[in-house]
Amino acid sequence: MKYLIQNRDGYQKGIDRIISQCHHITLQHLSREKNIHHHIHQARRHLKILRSALRIIRYDISSQEFKFENQFYRNIARSLSQARDSAAIVETINDLMENKPKSASLAILSQLKNEACSTRNNYLAENNKVISGAACLMKNHPIITNDLKWGVDYKLHLSSALKTSYRQASESHQICLNDISDTNIHEYRKKAKHFRYQLMILQNIWPPMFQMLEHEFHKLTYFLGQANNLTVLQNYTAQSSILEIKGIEKFKVKLEKSKIKLAQSALESGHRLFAETNGQFGKRIQVYVNHWKAL
Per residue in 21-68, pLDDT (tens digit) is: 999 999 999 998 788 889 999 999 999 999 999 999 999 999 999 999
For the chain, domains (ranges, CATH) are 11-290 (1.40.20.10)
pLDDT range class, residue 293, cuts 50, 70, 90: confident
Give me the chain's average pLDDT, please: 93
pLDDT at 203 over 90: yes
Burial class (CB in 10 A: 0-12, 13-18, 19+), 140: exposed
Per residue in 113-122, pLDDT (tens digit) is: 999 998 888 8
Per residue in 128-174, pLDDT (tens digit) is: 888 999 999 999 999 999 989 998 899 999 999 999 999 999 999 99
